[in-house]
Amino acid sequence: MTSPVNARPPRRHLAQLPTPLQPLDRLQQRYPDGPRIWVKRDDLTGCALSGNKIRKLEFSLAQALEEGCDTVITCGGLQSNHCRATALLCAQLGLKCHLLLRGEHQPPADGNLLLDQLAGAEISVYPAPQFTRELTTLFEHWEQHYAAQGRRAFVIPTGASDGIGVWGYFQASEELAADCRRVGISPGHILCATGSGGTQAGLSVGAHYHLPEAAVWGVNVCDDERWFLNKVARDLHEWRQRYALDTDVDAVDVRVIDDYVGPGYARADEEIYRSIAELAACEGLVLDPVYTGKAFHALLTERKAGRFGADGDMVFVHTGGLFGVFPHREHFSFLDH
């Protein structure tokens, strides 16, 4: 059994690290009540603004290479940030990438899908019901397809959120702890958007070791609290077992802020679009309507309601997602005057 602090899992250094930690002082002046808000700029990890995904993929793709794979198959929604990051990083590493996407593609491609195409990824699009029902079979089908061609495919699950992907934000927590020491703060709360649970899982267990004073909150952008508690526990157990770690993962504090999904995954209501516009104009910080916009809106609302206390410091992890703004362009029509 090994402590995760000393473990050395296979890793490819692909991200631009460390990312900056910045205070949002102008926003603070506008909303003075509550802890000071800092942003960990993981939207700046590099590789065409690949956000949180690149941290997890440093480990997933290193594992693929370690296993001698020449092809990567992964999945997500039509505008998946994870799929776009995987496609670009595979191109960078000389791996073939095949994306299984959920939705209905009506050309021309926009946002992340256009970037997937530019990165030369193979793309198969499936209607949502079929995708949900048959995903495991689809992965098997394509793995066999490549095996028959003499290729070796490595499957990365949704969002690279599994026992391997946990390392991404375990390591990011160590980086964040060093940032906090440098600027002289000890944040009481850390908050991120949670979609497939991997960022939250890594941050929660990472903070357990490196930032024990901080409560880590995931704001779910789909499903509900129970789903995320189960998913994070599953990823952490898999992580512990796979790497023979000595962590008591059941003792890790996992917290979800539910109630901000709004009209559904990848759909937002006007207050989210207005909140995104406000932050961009006030701080020059751009959020997206699918993940970070909802999570930041939750942060401001819950901070106002007193959930995070009256003072101290808190950190919002900006997980990226910029390209998700453009397919929502019509919802920003209130900016046209």
Ligand X SMILES: Cc1ncc(COP(=O)(O)O)c(C=O)c1O
d(CA 222, CA 228): 9
Tokens of 46: 């590099």
Q: Which of 3, 50, 60, 80 is catalytic?
A: 80
The residue within the footprint of ligand X, chosen from 86, 199, 204, 275 (CB under 6 A), is 199
CA distance 17 to 169: 13
By the rule CB under 6 A, 60 interacts with ligand X: no
Count of residues engaged in binding ligand X, rule: CB under 6 A: 20
195 lies in the site for ligand X, by CB under 6 A? yes
For ligand X, what does the binding mask look like between residues 120 and 159, x meaning CB under 6 A? ---------------------------------------x
Stretch that binds ligand X, among 106-114, 133-141, 180-188, 192-200 (CB under 6 A): 192-200
Q: Which of 273, 291, 296, 316 binds ligand X (CB under 6 A)?
A: 291
- Residue 268 to residue 218: CA distance in whole angstroms: 18
Assess 111 for contact with ligand X (CB under 6 A): no
Is there a contact between 153 and 160 (Cβ–Cβ < 8 Å)?
no
Long-range contacts, stretch 150-154, CB < 8 angstroms, 24+ apart: 151/70, 151/71, 151/96, 152/67, 152/68, 152/69, 152/70, 152/71, 153/69, 153/71, 153/72, 153/73, 153/98, 154/60, 154/63, 154/64, 154/67, 154/69, 154/71, 154/72, 154/73
Draw the binding track, 259-288, toward ligand X (x: CB under 6 A; -: no contact).
Answer: -----------------------------x
Question: CB-based contacts of 248: which residues, under 8 Å, 6+ apart?
Answer: none
CB atoms inside a 10 Å sphere around CB 225: 15
> Applying CB under 6 A, does 79 fall inside the site for ligand X?
no
Query: Which of 18, 163, 198, 293 touches ligand X (CB under 6 A)?
Result: 198
Assess 19 for contact with ligand X (CB under 6 A): no
193 lies in the binding site for ligand X (CB under 6 A): yes
Could you count the other beta carbons within 10 Å of the beta carbon of residue 164? 26
80 noted as active-site residue: yes
Which of 19, 50, 63, 81 contacts ligand X by CB under 6 A?
A: 81
CB of 291 to ligand X, least distance (A): 3
Q: Are 120 and 140 spatial neighbours (Cβ–Cβ below 8 Å)? A: no
Quick one: 126 or 323, whose CB is closer to ligand X? 323
Query: Which residue in 197, 206, 293, 327 binds ligand X (CB under 6 A)?
Result: 197
- CA distances in angstroms from 336 to 64, 303, 329, 331, 333, listed in the order given: 47, 30, 11, 11, 5
Pick out residues in 200-229 that bind ligand X (CB under 6 A): 200
Is 171 near ligand X (CB under 6 A)?
no
Which residues carry out catalysis?
80
By the criterion CB under 6 A, which residues form the site for ligand X? Answer: 51-52, 81-82, 159, 161, 193-200, 288, 291-292, 319-321
